[in-house]
Structure 1
Amino acid sequence: MKQTTQEKQFQISGMDCASCARTIESGIKKLPGVDTCSLNFSTETLRVSGTVSDTEIIERIRELGYDVQTPSNQETTIAPPSFWQFLWERQDTRLALVGALLILPSLLFNELLPGLGIHHPVIEWLAVLAMGTAGLPVFRSAWQAVRINREININVLMSLAAIGALFIGAYTEAGLVMVLFAIGEAMEGYTTSRARHAIRSLMAVVPNEAMRLKPAEGRVSVNELAVGDVILVKPGEQIPMDGRIRSGHSSVNQTPITGESRLIEKQPGDEVFASSINGEGVLIIEVTHRAEDNTISRLIRMVEEAQEHRAPAQRFVDRFARYYTPAVVVLAMLVAIIPPLFFGEPFWPTGASSGWLYRGLTLLVVACPCALVISTPVSLISAISNGARHGVLFKGGAHLETLSQVRGIAFDKTGTLTEGRPSVVRYEAAACVGEASCVYCDDLLALTSAVEEQSNHPLAQAVLSASEARGVNGRYPAANNVQTITGKGIQGEINGRQIFIGSHTYFDSAIPHTPYCQTVRQADEAGLTTMLVSQNNEYVGFLAVADKIRPSTRTVIKQLQELGINRLVMLTGDNATTAQKIAEQAGITEVYANCLPEDKVKIVSTLRNELGTVAMVGDGINDTPALAAASVGIAIGNTAQAMETADIVLMNENLDHLPFAIRLSRATMKTIQANIALSIGTKLLFLLLVLAGLGSMWLAVLADVGTSLLVTLNGMRRLKSPTPLKPVLKQTSL
């Protein structure tokens, strides 16, 4: 019987650095029946595709010296453990702590205070025992890496160095190498664990229970709630589920989702998000998503998945480390063999020299790439977590790196630079009789709303609001066979009549309306967006819509210019007059009007050819092609569509955090570059010291551990800085 290919997912424990993830990946890939395998070190998530069984995968993982978390032993607490708790929870680090106690006499009397002249075989045996105790997991992992993966990894380097030191009688060195390496790996694991907790802490804001009113009243787990259930949220409580308000008015703090702490007024019909904090009113809410599908859950899932899309800098480091480690072994052999063989230098330690074998072994320790490998992922984890906490969702380290290089930005107008909540300010039927309550004009509005009823475009919402306010929204049934014609408009069938709604530009080329053209043009010149309507290919009237610029748009444009991004472009399907007025208010000088979707794609592609790296900012609804054409696509809003279509999402539904996203990306890339420079610089310095006979093996380990901690802590700075600037402009209500 042919076995079915399956996708499997496991949570791995016991990894301290990215090298551990590569070892597991390589081991799993060698199992029969594995098609693809990827392990995300940042989230500890292993994904395997193929016909291989769960048992075989778990056995291989444990064979390599790691473990698999089951639902019962996965972390259920948000609070991260303290450093000593972290060390004591794991067998490997407990052995390292025991080894540290055993090596203390040898460190004290042989290395720090050799002048005391205290020597005893017991001290040396304790050093050997320390090496064996702390190094047992390392030796085991090194052997499995060679036996199963046929590769030389960091554990192999350290094992060779320790055993070689033991072989030449450097017992203290052998013990210190293993103890310091094991404790250093544990410290790397701990600091990386802290960064992971920054992501998981996002879930701490979601209540585990809710007060259900329907279908059965009582307090229940949020996992038991279904779409359509009705829940009660009291003043000051956190909203447990995404939903729609049935009754009640309140102010809601949506900080966990959008990153902005201002209160948002909510009323019946408005959407609310799980994790938001209810204000002063009682809310009756109808659940619209299950717990695993709500906005905060999707946000966290995307943040974790984002770390699987490696930035080019990270891919370079990973490739470099893959070839670097075996090369180091060859170099160490040459260092140990060539000087004694060709230049008469001592191979073994002598009274006057440490010998070239010792230098070769020390080189193995110096070349350990821990700091280099950890320097990039920890910075990206921290930056992505920082962004998520402030309402900026990076869907991959690659997108974060690309954003740091952006030299120009194209903006869609409606819903991006403007509020996206336009209102109908005028509508006039072809048969209008000029009365205040013209039946023909009301009929035009009713026809238009029946076609737009199924659209979520901001202009459609404006029409629906106007028809409801006028009381004509139910005059006609919702149109049948509704179809959006890209770049032209929308059409539908009502009672056998074909209704089409489109732009003035399209009507000029397709539907005669000469007697009314001047009236429509006057509305265009007044800066209004016009929508022309036809019935069975005959013009029946037009509607004019106005949209306000976002209060913070001009400030954001100025901040972007201060960041050195001077090529800022506005793209819109509106007429040139309306487009120019909005651009002037926003502070943008380069405007492209009357754009069809394909025109926007061409303009963005042209900008990429001119500038190299270009961002496109839109609402993710009708500008998906342009978002895809840009080097990096940025969507505004927390809708499912916006979160799926773009590379970066600004969750707070405005441009306020765009400058922050750019500053964060640039700061992160500077941190990564500094970390790589520090890692390589330290290696080169100790390499010269070792070749000159001035470096010891245990000091080399100490330097490697210290460098690893420095680059990790430096990368974790991106968890807290930079932060968004406080908005200069605030929206006020009259």
Structure 2
Amino acid sequence: MTTKQILHIQGMDCAGCARTIETGIRQLDGVQACTLNFTSEKLHVTGTVKRDAMIERVRDLGFDVAEEESASTTPEQTGNFLQFLWRRRATQMALLGVLLIMPGLIFEELLGRHHPLIDLASVGAMIAAGIPIVRSAWRSLTVNREITINALMSIAAVGAVIIGAYTEAGMVMVLFALGEALEGYTSSRARDALRSLMQVVPKMAMLLRKREESNSNLMGVIPLQVQAATSCGDSCGCSEQTAATPQQVHIDTLEVGDVILVKPGERIPMDGRVLAGASSVNQSPITGESRLMEKEINDDVFASSINGEGVLELEVTHRAADNTISRVIKMVEEAQEQRAPTQRFIDRFAHYYTPAVVVLAILVATIPPLFFGLPFWNPGPDTIGWLYRALALLVVACPCALVISTPVSIISAISNAARSGVLIKGGVHLEQLSRIKTMAFDKTGTLTEGRPSVVSTQTLRCPQPNVITTGAVCHDCSDMLALASAVEYQSEHPLAQAIVQQASSLGVQHKYPIAEGVQALAGRGVTGIVGGQSIVIGSHRLFDSTIPHTEAMCAAAQYQAEQGHTPIMVGVDGRYQGMMAVSDTVRENSRGVVDSLKQVGINDLVMLTGDNESAARKVGASIGMTDVRADLLPEDKVQAVRSLRAEYGPIAMVGDGINDAPALATADVGIAIGGASGGTAQAMETADITLMRDDIQQLPFAVALSHATMRTIQTNIVLSLSIKFVFMVLVLLGVGTMWMAVITDMGTSILVTLYGMRLLHWQKLPHRGSV
């Protein structure tokens, strides 16, 4: 049976280690797919292969696999550089090598004095630092039949001993071992960014009562007054009544429906609904927005948020493994395993690059002496032979920097985005977003607040529309709202919720029983049976083809559309009953977001909506859209996305998932809003990128971050290749030495790693204040 398994790998120092493990696992019978991300340390394997066989292969290659229990716990933080070094046996051996190489470096290289004991110490340094390197190279060669970076270094060091360059042989191994440790340290710091997400959720919670006890008290909730040991003080607003003493429990033991207590200043341990109390809550771990949000009874709160000044009694709404922050972490981890096209190309290139370097070194060592009579050995202290140059070429040509340049940048950017409330499902989507020049938007709930309200009603007996704000609603209009509410009662659509809310405010929401046989007419309306009456609710276009109505009724609908409202008609038993006008408020930051998107290179911004042309163009003009396409059904939005792609190239689609999930899936990059609240589950699954806030404010940041990421990757690739090319020329000219080559190679790897890690804290955005 085909399964997907995840192993947590330990002991990797560089991207080359990850590639070695991948190669070894792929050779096992039953492996269909295998990916190992160096930064996340997680190996994903699909197939029928046994777990024990994979663990054995990983250990044969010199690495280890964490036990499931320890892998599921949060790893310790990296700590400072010295602490990191001292925890590693290989680095301890390298530090011993440093002590042994010092005499050769001081007396032979700097003072020009030679002694056999100095050579012996240098060989000792090579052995001390090189044992782990040679062992790894041998395992890869015998198990994987693969020449790795460690093999190149081992060949270079042994070759240096053969030609009598003892000090340089020791320097190669010592510097390479220390460089591997430093590269491992910088990569571990990158892992800490994701670990910091995991650590924001408390492991313990204060349980007030279990679900069974809560169910017996559904008629009312009394704020908890805890005993003295857990008292929150006089300012908390708790009642004088006494309730059960809170019990500290692990969050994994909590079930949906359990009730917990959160004191002032504490992190909220579980997703929940406020049963009692009021407070201001900082939701920045979820949404990236540090401002305080006021929470009161029936409001939702998220695990990892920081409670303010009040005491909250919460009903748990998700188990610990399913809460919002857990889903965020899972999405980020999954995103790290998806390799961007650039990374896949670099990995394929590196697969052939290392053997090619060995062949090139052999040619460099043999062709000049054989065909041009140039020296093979070092003929004198001031002349470098071609064997030495070939060995130095092996060192400088290692692809470490090239291989690590892309993944460290991608993962740093994804981690930064997650902390800022933007979930990017993989490097491929980040890279694709950087190419986007055209962006399409759903209107309702994306560019507008998504909380429309009924502004007027008019039935056949009403000479003029009843404006809701004046409170003047006639009996017929009230009855029409009651019928419409019965049909729309269970719908999640914002327009339906506006109708239900208005009926509720008039006290007529329960005048009729909830409709039976409700059927949605995608993008046009809904039908249902209420008390034996057939009710149709929908757009003017729907009524044009289903229910007869007069020119005056058409004119009334057109008038509402010209005012920027959405006319919704109601029919009963095939006869026109009346019309409601619904209006939605444009988000305050929509204009600023649109302007910022233009500044970061999104030249064409298109609004796609099912609203009528007049209302849509009025909204589009107010926020700066370059194109508006109205009267679209969900399938029309899909076709619109396809036509926009044909006209402009790659396109992103932004929506909340209500009637636009197919368009999100069709676009090159689908972006859903409201991951924490507001957006639909379908949109979260369909979208490539999710904005956790219930608005589009972080959209320019996401686009700008994608551009910064690709610039960083390109800079890293050019930098690593350029430095290597220049030093390869110096080596071939006889100017570059082996120890210089090691410093150049490892220094370049560390440089591109640190440069990629800049993206962990990147926040630059032109005119951010306008957003």
**TM-score tier (shorter):** over 0.9
SS in 2 for 1:478: coil
Equivalent residues in 2 for 1:404-483, closer than 5 Å: 404-430=434-460, 436-483=472-519
Counterpart pick for 2:744 among 670, 689, 703: 703
Note the C-alpha offset of 1:586: 0.9
Q: Distance in 1 between matches of 2:509 and 2:393?
A: 80
More divergent stretch after superposition (586-595 vs 537-546): 537-546
Note if contact 1:660-1:725 (Cα within 8 Å) is conserved in structure 2. no
Counterpart pick for 1:85 among 83, 86, 94: 83
Instruction: Specify the code of the residue in structure 2 equivalent to 1:241.
Output: M
Counterpart pick for 2:30 among 16, 33, 43: 33
Is residue 653 of structure 1 aligned with residue 689 of structure 2? no
Counterpart pick for 2:18 among 14, 17, 21: 21
Is residue 557 of structure 1 aligned with residue 594 of structure 2? yes
More divergent stretch after superposition (550-559 vs 450-459): 450-459
Q: Distance in 2 between matches of 1:518 and 1:256?
A: 50
Is residue 221 of structure 1 aligned with residue 250 of structure 2? yes
SS in 2 for 1:148: helix
Note if contact 2:417-2:702 (Cα within 8 Å) is conserved in structure 1. yes
Q: Distance in 2 between matches of 1:476 and 1:214?
A: 38
Counterpart pick for 2:334 among 298, 305, 330: 305
Note the C-alpha offset of 1:451: 2.4
Note the C-alpha offset of 1:197: 0.6
Counterpart pick for 1:235 among 260, 264, 267: 264
Equivalent residues in 2 for 1:260-659, closer than 5 Å: 260-351=289-380, 353-430=383-460, 436-514=472-550, 516-638=553-675, 639=679, 640-659=681-700
Note if contact 1:78-1:201 (Cα within 8 Å) is conserved in structure 2. no
Instruction: Specify the code of the residue in structure 2 equivalent to 1:185.
Output: E
Cα distance change, pair 247–430 in 1 and its aligned pair in 2 (3 A): farther
Note the C-alpha offset of 1:517: 2.5
Counterpart pick for 2:182 among 182, 187, 191: 187
Cα distance change, pair 507–727 in 1 and its aligned pair in 2 (3 A): farther
Equivalent residues in 2 for 1:44-59, closer than 5 Å: 44-59=41-56
Cα distance change, pair 5–591 in 1 and its aligned pair in 2 (3 A): closer
Q: Distance in 2 between matches of 1:183 and 1:255?
A: 38
Question: CA offsets, 1:119-152, max 9 Å, x none?
Answer: 2222212221221221112111111212121222
Note if contact 1:663-1:722 (Cα within 8 Å) is conserved in structure 2. no
Q: Distance in 1 between matches of 2:579 and 2:93?
A: 79
Question: CA offsets, 1:300-337, max 9 Å, x none?
Answer: 11111111121122112111111111111111111111
Note if contact 1:617-1:634 (Cα within 8 Å) is conserved in structure 2. yes
Note if contact 2:593-2:770 (Cα within 8 Å) is conserved in structure 1. no
Note the C-alpha offset of 1:11: 0.5
Q: Distance in 2 between matches of 1:614 and 1:427?
A: 39
Q: Distance in 2 between matches of 1:468 and 1:269?
A: 18
Cα distance change, pair 454–108 in 1 and its aligned pair in 2 (3 A): farther
Note the C-alpha offset of 1:72: 5.4
How large is the Cα RMSD of the aligned pairs? 2.1
Q: Distance in 1 between matches of 2:493 and 2:618?
A: 22
Cα distance change, pair 397–406 in 1 and its aligned pair in 2 (3 A): same
Structure 2 unaligned residues grouped into runs of 5+: 214-245, 467-471
Note if contact 1:533-1:542 (Cα within 8 Å) is conserved in structure 2. yes
More divergent stretch after superposition (583-592 vs 17-26): 583-592
Equivalent residues in 2 for 1:648-687, closer than 5 Å: 648-687=689-728
Note if contact 1:399-1:632 (Cα within 8 Å) is conserved in structure 2. yes
Instruction: Specify the code of the residue in structure 2 equivalent to 1:389.
Output: R
Q: Distance in 1 between matches of 2:272 and 2:518?
A: 27
Note the C-alpha offset of 1:77: 5.2
More divergent stretch after superposition (444-453 vs 698-707): 444-453
Question: CA offsets, 1:353-379, max 9 Å, x none?
Answer: 321111111111111011111111111
How many residue pairs get matched?
Answer: 724
Q: Distance in 2 between matches of 1:214 and 1:429?
A: 52
Q: Distance in 2 between matches of 1:188 and 1:483?
A: 60
Question: Identity percentage over the alignment?
Answer: 60
SS in 1 for 2:512: coil
Question: CA offsets, 1:514-551, max 9 Å, x none?
Answer: 26322222222221112223334433332221111111
Instruction: Specify the code of the residue in structure 2 equivalent to 1:471.
Output: G
Name the TM-score, length of structure 2 as normaliser. Answer: 0.90
Note the C-alpha offset of 1:291: 0.7
Name the TM-score, length of structure 1 as normaliser. Answer: 0.95
Instruction: Specify the code of the residue in structure 1 equivalent to 2:660.
Output: D
Structure 2 equivalent of residue 159 of structure 1: 154
Q: Distance in 2 between matches of 1:207 and 1:41?
A: 28
Structure 1 equivalent of residue 243 of structure 2: none
SS in 2 for 1:350: coil
Cα distance change, pair 398–472 in 1 and its aligned pair in 2 (3 A): same
Question: CA offsets, 1:173-206, max 9 Å, x none?
Answer: 1111111111111111111111111111012221
Note the C-alpha offset of 1:725: 7.0
Note the C-alpha offset of 1:284: 2.2
Q: Distance in 2 between matches of 1:603 and 1:362?
A: 58
Is residue 123 of structure 1 aligned with residue 118 of structure 2? yes
Note the C-alpha offset of 1:48: 2.0
SS in 2 for 1:97: helix
Note if contact 1:551-1:729 (Cα within 8 Å) is conserved in structure 2. no
Instruction: Specify the code of the residue in structure 2 equivalent to 1:685.
Output: V
More divergent stretch after superposition (119-128 vs 329-338): 119-128
Q: Distance in 2 between matches of 1:597 and 1:653?
A: 21
Note the C-alpha offset of 1:430: 4.2
SS in 2 for 1:141: helix
Q: Distance in 2 between matches of 1:694 and 1:527?
A: 75
